[in-house]
Structure 1
Amino acid sequence: MLPRLTIMAKFSDSLPTIEEATAFSTVINIINQFLDESFKKLVALPDGRIGYVCSVITGAASNSNLKYREPIIIASPRNSDIESPEMTLNVYPDRLDFPFTYFPHINPKEEGFPRSICLVRENFNDWYAEHTFEDFLCLIIKWFTDAKDGNLVKTKEGDRWEPFYLGEPDLYYFRFPMFDNTLQTYDDPFQLTFEIDSKTFKGPHDYKSDPDNGILGLLLYRGASRPLKTWIYDRPLTVGQLLNLIETYEVWNTDSLINKVRECRDKYEYIFLQIGFCRPINIIGKTNKVDYICFKASVDAIVERKFDDKIQLVQIIDLPTPQFARGLSNTSEDVGSKDIAIIGCGAIGSKLAYHLFRTGFEKLTLIDSDQMLPHNYLRHGLSMGGFLDNKAKLLKEFLKIMLPKFGGQIKSVEEDVIPKINSNSLHNDIIIDCTASAMLLHAMDDHRPDLSQSIVRFAISDGGKVGLVYFNSTKGVRLSDYYMYLLRICVTNSEYEEDFCQWFKTESSYTLDKVRIGEGCHSNTMVLGDDLISTHAGIASNLIRNHNYNNQNNEIYLSFLDYDWPGSCHTDRISLPDFKQYDVDSSEWKVRLPKDLEDLIRVQSRRAGKNETGGYLMGCWDIKRKVVYILHTFVPTDIRGTHSKLTLGTGGWKNEIDRVQKLTSGSLRYIGDWHSHPKGSTKMSNIDVESCATTLYSEMDNNRFLCLICNNDQLSFNIISLNT
């Protein structure tokens, strides 16, 4: 006996055929070209559109949920140009037994139609405005190919699992998903009863809460050991259909559920059923694998088995949590969970706190002793109220409103921070200085050996055109070293000459209406736009979120805005070497120089062998703190050295000092010389003293001259002054 031929039941079989297809021949030809001559007929759809009945080759094997050739209907408006940007097209699987539950990217069911497939994640009309009908057909082929290969959820590309969608909800339930991350670790089925306030529900059309004091909540969880890999599209409308769904997916049995609800019958009129499934991977829009379908039903209807009673579909809307904020902004858990102190809650500090909190940093200590004045709101992260109140306090209250359940870890300190720095009483993981205060910078430098935290300094300069972010992770570099090293980079690396030179020039011509390093933007006469502050704060937040705090690197990020044209922006990154510090012989002065510069001097000394060598030194004198910075050296072209004598020469020196002073706007100056004693000690000889004194008297304009002497083992430093 021959096997019985099974005829495939199709949706198109119930539709009237359009006999005259000539007017649609262009579209039909394109369909035949792209879909293997598969066009069958034109049909009239129930809503007045036309349907092109055809098929797409999937290549599916006999054990697949798909057919080798899947029949489809392409629906389009009857009297529109197929390439019109406003065209709306749909694709419906034509066979009535199409297994929708095995696939994501399925659109909600329309009245009188099967479900359609979702080809793009953006608005279709936006997509079609820039694509053609041929592109549309290619999307159809791609969808079915991916469906056959199990690749509609592209996990290798970082895609996530599509959540359930059963149609437009009757009610919305707003909640904090505190339990979901824990729930996804429970392998076995789990049930939990709880009470929720009826006011937690919101309806799409002026929903009024129930008159009772609460609603019975019942969480039914299928268990993580059986992750659900299919989708639920058919919405249960009655109590009976809901209980059948719970049984079908083996979430719980009907009798146990009814008995549990009966226990609470006297107290509650309504029940909120929250049915949870663990999915194979994290859900789109969530930080975990748990997805829900939810319903509100009558307690009496369930207990009395009134299976025809209507139920309401409830959509859970998760309120944001810090963990979700970290996931949304791609902030690592390790960094986002750090305890941060922000010193200075003015324009840049408030905006930085705003960005960090919104990207998942919940442990914030806000420090500022200043009060809010009316003009502050033109540039501050806050936008209203609180005149004469403390800035840190106001900012804390604002952030707590944003995430009310998670504001408990935000603290405010409404007093001067310097005593806390001096007493080492800030124990946060990261301390961010947004004050642009020179006094605070030096206080942190003085107590850096006692601080184990990472230090970040965020400031703006040059009327808001330059933003600076310093990352300080080791004790070998002081915050005051950063600006000094930028001066060195400007004269040793041509890549930075143009930007740095322009910046230093503006710094040197500082006026009260500009912003420079060491000057904040607190004044109501300070010319600085909110847009520039916001841009720099956004860049700083991004850097802080993505910095590797475990590598102990000291780095500078310089962001230049509007330097090339209004709206232009680029950021440079510079790594700092450690700085070495030496005592000056018979003096209270200290010498600081970058380790790479010290290494350069040592290399030049060794290369000279048995002969003396040397060079000119350029740097800065910090008279107040008695620190001299060596930042650059120059070896003249006509230097001559023997084993006991050195003639330094002047070849190229004038051009070099002019170049350096021009690039740094006079910040780097001639401060002294260095030379080697290949075999002798590093103490100054009488000839050294006489030579330095002569140079000091004839060439130096600050009454001091630094002499560096090195041999193979050590360096020594001496300062000659007119007073010695």
Structure 2
Amino acid sequence: MLILLSLTRFPHAAPFILSDRKDFPKSRLSHLYFTTDDEPARLCLVRNNPHEWFATIKLRDFLDVGGQWLYKAATGQLNEDGGEFDPTRLEGNIFSTHIYRYDLINEVVFNDQRFVPELPMALFAGAQILKTGKNASYQTNVHIPFIAFDTVRDAIAKLLQGDTEDQSANPVFTFVFWDSDGATEGLYLTSRPKNYGQLKLFFSLRGISLHQALLKLEELGAIYRRGLSLIFAIKRPRRVIGYNGNYEFINFLILLPAEGVAGLTDNEEVMLQGHIEPFSKATARYLSAKSQMPATLYIGAGSLGSKLILHDARSGNIELGICDNDNMLPHNLARHELTADQLGQNKAEALVTVIKKFYSADNSNKIVAIESDAIYLDREFQEYQCIIDTTASVQVMNFLISKQLPTNTRYYKAEIADAGALGLLYAEGYNRNPRMDDLVNLACFNATKNEQLRIWRINDVHREVTTLNVGLGCSSTTSVMADDTLGFHASVFSRMLAKATTQESHSISGLLAISSLDESKGFPSISTEYIDVQAFDVLNCKAGSGWEVRLMGGINELLLANGNRQAPKETGGVLIGIANYKTKTIHVFDLITEPQGSHGTYCEFVRGANGLPDEIDEIKRKTGEVIGYIGEWHTHPMNLKGLSIQDEKTIAELRVLNRTVPIPTCALIVTPDELLAYVYE
């Protein structure tokens, strides 16, 4: 045996072990590289990259493995591959790659689906990835039967008359041949054809006159490029390792002379192409090891949206809707997943184009762009089980709150807060309760008990908004934030969404998830927190104003318990929350019971105010002036199901005061078994 070392690359490149015998039984031994007749047999010692393997071992270990190879070959143990056939080792001889699905070609060959009856060959269409030269790579996508050939050929001819800069405008045909007798070959391939004469011999030994076949194909108009891609399918006695079939495919590439097939000489060089499976939905799901999200509509394809969309797409989700009406502008390059090649294009359309190129081997018809404002969406909601809003738009949130969504659709919202220090992800609960506005306002209220949220809300009040002018006009600004900061939160959101979307719909509660990136002490510190949010109790206004009052889980029970505990005397206090005039909703998150100075009797309750303004101001301070006083509550222990005369008088006085704020006037009546809401503007 010979040991071949590179004088310039050793020890970084692995040596090779070669045979010095011309009669070395190559065809009967697996784990050999595919060499020409004038090259010595070369042993394959490891399935993976030999140079990486050699970087971890000593030369003595390398020689030991070579000795084990020879021992196994001599004792008949080398070919034991679990009942499967070991494919030909092409490493070191590959000039370029050929991308196709093994199953696509295997099915056609297995079923003997010939292009023309007299030739054991099939025609496939694809694209040449690189335009010229020996390193041109190909991608084969679809089988073309003879009945469809004229249509495809004419379409290609028309395409080639236009702009051919785009890869999709660089089509090619691939020709797949097989043994006409269906013979099985059990011997390993040992002699690599290095020129056209040897390739013709390779084919003729398997019953095919290659030159005559190529002349026939050229006459039909199937050969129109100098680069000629040929695949030969060899039927093996067992399933080929790593694939679901018994056929092994060897990929050849010939560069035709200007005269075409007739000008081919026996000395024309023949190159090998390595086979690579295309990126597919199945491959993406396997490689990402991530829970598969259902059909998803993304509203907003900006910096955050684009990252979430591509995380989802790269994990194998090809049922995607992307809604955005904005175009890609130069300043977007700082954080957007699109590149300068897409400047001026609609963001949704450009992302769809990029993702569809990922999945050339799959049906990508359900990856669609919606180039409109979200508030015009309607029937589109019927197609999706997830809606993910990354717009940070109150208008969009209000629209989605008011929209009747399918019962199996869940609404999520993601946003970055506190100049990138916080990421907030919200997920509605079952039957849209808690609703998105419940969750968004709850995040503000929780600043009263969560330090990270409190810092955000306080900072929000005092922060000078840092923006960068990107053009003339009052709206031509963009926020200042590093791409990696945005990317951190987007990655966390993506993992959260993958988990949240796999929950059983009938049992899900709402979710408020917080990702934190704290850089106040030097190196960044990261953390996440998840808050389970139970359904809100919803009360419709008894006065007919159209308002509704939404009580955070537990408030209803607390009010009833307070009333029953103080009965038969009346008790009461104030409601803490926020009102939204657009949606005519009051959200209640807390109570203050019997402020100092309050007193109740069997027939009335007088609410005190000692210390109350300071207590309310502290809540407002902690929540960034968002959450505060929002109404009154008191009990009717005698079970009066409505407003008393005194209640109506008090409400009239409050309406005058509240209009100066302005907030609606809300009065909550607590009976022994029921809550009654009265709201007036």
Aligned residue in 2 for 1:315? 274
SS class of match (1:412): strand
Q: Is the 8 A contact 2:321 2:369 kept in 1?
A: yes
SS class of match (2:298): strand
Aligned pairs (5 A) from 1:663-674 = 663-674=622-633
1:327 maps onto 2:282 in alignment: no
What amino acid is aligned across from residue 383 of structure 2 in structure 1?
N
1:418 maps onto 2:375 in alignment: yes
Aligned pairs (5 A) from 1:410-559 = 410-421=367-378, 424-429=379-384, 430-449=386-405, 453-472=409-428, 474-491=431-448, 497-513=450-466, 523-549=476-502, 551-552=504-505, 553=508, 554-559=510-515
Q: Is the 8 A contact 2:16 2:43 kept in 1?
A: no
In the superposition, the TM-score normalised over structure 1's length comes to: 0.62
Aligned residue in 1 for 2:93? 169
SS class of match (2:492): helix
Q: Is the 8 A contact 1:367 1:392 kept in 2?
A: yes
Q: Is the 8 A contact 2:90 2:274 kept in 1?
A: no
Q: Is the 8 A contact 2:303 2:337 kept in 1?
A: yes
SS class of match (1:369): coil
Aligned pairs (5 A) from 1:147-186 = 165-177=89-101, 180=102
Pair 1:139–1:506, CA change in 2 (3 A)? farther
In 2, Cα distance between the equivalents of 1:153 and 1:209?
Answer: 31
Aligned residue in 1 for 2:666? 706
Aligned residue in 2 for 1:717? 677
In 2, Cα distance between the equivalents of 1:312 and 1:529?
Answer: 47
Deviation at 1:510, TM superposition (A): 4.9
Pair 1:201–1:350, CA change in 2 (3 A)? closer
CA deviations 1:215-258 (Å, max 9, x no partner) are: 7733669xxxx9x9x99796766999999999xxxxxx987x65
In 1, Cα distance between the equivalents of 2:188 and 2:532?
Answer: 54
Deviation at 1:664, TM superposition (A): 1.6
1:618 maps onto 2:576 in alignment: yes
In 1, Cα distance between the equivalents of 2:630 and 2:137?
Answer: 79
In 1, Cα distance between the equivalents of 2:608 and 2:59?
Answer: 78
Deviation at 1:577, TM superposition (A): 2.2
Q: Is the 8 A contact 2:307 2:337 kept in 1?
A: yes
Q: Is the 8 A contact 1:448 1:478 kept in 2?
A: no
Pair 1:551–1:290, CA change in 2 (3 A)? farther
Aligned residue in 2 for 1:31? none
CA deviations 1:514-554 (Å, max 9, x no partner) are: 69xxxxx9843532333333333333344444442552333
Aligned residue in 2 for 1:597? 555
How many residues are treated as equivalent by the alignment? 589
Among 587, 605, 613, the alignment partner of 1:629 is 587
In 1, Cα distance between the equivalents of 2:464 and 2:247?
Answer: 59
CA deviations 1:502-522 (Å, max 9, x no partner) are: 11112233544269xxxxx98
In 2, Cα distance between the equivalents of 1:162 and 1:676?
Answer: 82
1:572 maps onto 2:500 in alignment: no
Deviation at 1:592, TM superposition (A): 1.3
In 2, Cα distance between the equivalents of 1:647 and 1:132?
Answer: 90
Deviation at 1:384, TM superposition (A): 1.8
Aligned residue in 2 for 1:14? none
Among 342, 362, 380, the alignment partner of 2:336 is 380
In 2, Cα distance between the equivalents of 1:485 and 1:173?
Answer: 55
Deviation at 1:500, TM superposition (A): 0.7
Among 367, 377, 387, the alignment partner of 2:323 is 367
Root mean square deviation of aligned Cα? 6.0
Q: Is the 8 A contact 2:108 2:122 kept in 1?
A: no
Q: Is the 8 A contact 2:3 2:15 kept in 1?
A: no
In 1, Cα distance between the equivalents of 2:289 and 2:200?
Answer: 40
Q: Is the 8 A contact 2:96 2:135 kept in 1?
A: no
In 1, Cα distance between the equivalents of 2:187 and 2:595?
Answer: 79
Q: Is the 8 A contact 1:367 1:415 kept in 2?
A: yes
Q: Is the 8 A contact 2:599 2:605 kept in 1?
A: yes
Give ranges in structure 2 of 5+ residues lacking alignment. Answer: 19-23, 70-77, 115-120, 139-156, 158-171, 255-267, 469-473
SS class of match (2:293): helix
Deviation at 1:501, TM superposition (A): 0.5
In the superposition, the TM-score normalised over structure 2's length comes to: 0.65
Q: Is the 8 A contact 1:367 1:417 kept in 2?
A: yes
1:206 maps onto 2:141 in alignment: no
Deviation at 1:198, TM superposition (A): 10
Deviation at 1:619, TM superposition (A): 0.9
In 1, Cα distance between the equivalents of 2:678 and 2:372?
Answer: 43
Q: Is the 8 A contact 2:240 2:248 kept in 1?
A: no
CA deviations 1:667-704 (Å, max 9, x no partner) are: 22133443444552342345656777899999996676
Q: Is the 8 A contact 1:371 1:387 kept in 2?
A: yes
What amino acid is aligned across from residue 581 of structure 1 in structure 2?
V
In 1, Cα distance between the equivalents of 2:380 and 2:3?
Answer: 74
Q: Is the 8 A contact 2:577 2:588 kept in 1?
A: yes
SS class of match (1:427): helix
SS class of match (1:595): coil
Deviation at 1:623, TM superposition (A): 3.9
Pair 1:598–1:267, CA change in 2 (3 A)? same
1:218 maps onto 2:176 in alignment: yes
In 1, Cα distance between the equivalents of 2:200 and 2:591?
Answer: 84
Q: Is the 8 A contact 2:514 2:530 kept in 1?
A: yes
Among 295, 298, 306, the alignment partner of 1:342 is 298
Q: Is the 8 A contact 1:476 1:578 kept in 2?
A: yes
Aligned residue in 2 for 1:42? none
Q: Is the 8 A contact 1:166 1:235 kept in 2?
A: no
Q: Is the 8 A contact 1:87 1:125 kept in 2?
A: no
Deviation at 1:498, TM superposition (A): 1.2
Give ranges in structure 1 of 5+ residues lacking alignment. Answer: 1-10, 12-44, 50-76, 144-149, 155-159, 247-252, 299-308, 516-520
In 1, Cα distance between the equivalents of 2:54 and 2:569?
Answer: 76
Deviation at 1:452, TM superposition (A): 5.5
Q: Is the 8 A contact 1:86 1:125 kept in 2?
A: no
Q: Is the 8 A contact 2:253 2:272 kept in 1?
A: no
SS class of match (1:353): helix
Aligned pairs (5 A) from 1:101-116 = 115=43
What amino acid is aligned across from residue 529 of structure 2 in structure 1?
D
Aligned pairs (5 A) from 1:50-65 = none
SS class of match (2:373): coil
Pair 1:484–1:514, CA change in 2 (3 A)? farther
Among 672, 681, 685, the alignment partner of 2:640 is 681
Pair 1:88–1:194, CA change in 2 (3 A)? closer
In 1, Cα distance between the equivalents of 2:443 and 2:328?
Answer: 34
In 1, Cα distance between the equivalents of 2:247 and 2:646?
Answer: 84
SS class of match (2:457): helix
Larger mean CA deviation between 266-275 and 696-705 belongs to 696-705
Deviation at 1:165, TM superposition (A): 3.6
What amino acid is aligned across from residue 666 of structure 1 in structure 2?
E
